[in-house]
Amino acid sequence: MTSCLPALRFIATPRLGAMPHIDNDVKLDFKDVLLRPKRSTLKSRSEVDLTRSFSFRNSKQTYTGVPIIAANMDTVGTFEMARVLCKFSLFTAVHKHYSLDQWQEFASQNPDCLEVNYICLDVANGYSEHFVEFVKDVRKRFPQHTIMAGNVVTGEMVEELILSGADIIKVGIGPGSVCTTRKKTGVGYPQLSAVMECADAAHGLKGHIISDGGCSCPGDVAKAFGAGADFVMLGGMLAGHSESGGELIERDGKKYKLFYGMSSEMAMKKYSGGVAEYRASEGKTVEVPFKGDVEHTIRDILGGIRSTCTYVGAAKLKELSRRTTFIRVTQQVNPIFSDVS
């Protein structure tokens, strides 16, 4: 009998602090909420002003525009996209795979579209100490550039990156339409809650945030702004257009465009000669039905957000988050014709 004792003693005295922690607060995604309409004096959505002006904490630069950004993916952040989006005062984070010659040609033909005083430091995991040091280093070397850095999803890391010199923090781990991070790693954070918590942290330090990923319709973009995002970055919603990158495919008389994550096997084969042995791809490839010119989609998104603002009584996009009350829902759309767009 005595031989059982050591084992019993081991079970009865677990090592303190070794237990995993569960955060029992419910964290929400765009699909879990709707915006509650409010009494308003606005007569028409045409009265709504979607432009915003910001003054950045560290660069001291100012910005005025409609704060929606095409993602820095080679299928979305193209020169063709930038040319159209700049007509609507939207940003395009141009992807990093253009050559210097291509840049020179674009710059000479579109001098009005260029904003060269922004630097986007984009890594899948913005939590590494190495990345924080990198942000500090870039801030030292480019004191007057506006630095966007990410991605992170929690307030303490937003604060650390801002205090290290970043102006705008990219928020989102795992919500992207072609992202497989949550499946491959089990890591992530529901995007609406991430935006609410990170916006609060950033605004406390006079910093700004981008809600990056997870928007599937104009209503989601409005919810991201309502949650406190200063900018919203879009990938999937801008994919599949004439201006998007990715191969055009025709099958059974229907057109599709390839859209893939920047850490997908397809992107890694294209740019780095394949997936390195020590890592797994964290993105996938999809075929998006061809949607024609992106201008229609942009008008649809901007029209949707203007309408959101009239429902909650916000005359300006700036007022949207102050006028926002989210209600938790179990269903947001009627699914009866869900296959019909």
Q: Which residues bind ligand 5GP (CB under 6 A)?
A: 71, 73, 124, 151, 172, 176-179, 181, 212-215, 233-236, 261-264, 282-283
Q: Minimum CB separation from ligand 5GP for residue 41, in Å?
A: 34
3-state DSSP of 262-311: CCEHHHHHHHHCCCCCCCCCCECEEEEECCCCHHHHHHHHHHHHHHHHHH
Q: Minimum CB separation from ligand 5GP for residue 4, in Å?
A: 49
Q: Minimum CB separation from ligand 5GP for residue 42, in Å?
A: 29
Residue with smaller CB distance to ligand 5GP, 93 or 309:
93
Residue with smaller CB distance to ligand 5GP, 40 or 154:
154
Which residue of the set 120, 179, 198, 309 is catalytic? Answer: 179
Residue with smaller CB distance to ligand 5GP, 164 or 177:
177
Cβ-Cβ contacts under 8 Å for 32 (sequence gap 6 or more): 190, 192, 328, 329
| Pairing label, strands 208-212, 231-234 | parallel
Q: Minimum CB separation from ligand 5GP for residue 286, in Å?
A: 10
Q: Minimum CB separation from ligand 5GP for residue 172, in Å?
A: 6
User: Is 113 designated active site?
Assistant: no
Which residue of the set 181, 297, 308, 324 is catalytic? Answer: 181
Residue with smaller CB distance to ligand 5GP, 159 or 212:
212
Q: How far is CA 66 from CA 115, 248, 290, 316, in A?
A: 14, 30, 25, 11
Q: How far is CA 205 from CA 57, 155, 232, in A?
A: 8, 11, 20
Residue with smaller CB distance to ligand 5GP, 175 or 226:
175
Q: Minimum CB separation from ligand 5GP for residue 233, in Å?
A: 5
DSSP codes joined into one string, 127-180: T-HHHHHHHHHHHHH-TTSEEEEEEE-SHHHHHHHHHTT-SEEEE-SS--TTB-
Phi-psi region of 214 (alpha: psi -120 to 50; beta: other; left: phi over 0): left
3-state DSSP of 69-132: EECCCCCCCCHHHHHHHHHCCCEECCCCCCCHHHHHHHHHHCHHHCCCCEEEEECCCCCCHHHH
Residue with smaller CB distance to ligand 5GP, 176 or 245:
176
User: Is 78 designated active site?
Assistant: no
Please give the positions annotated as active site. 179, 181
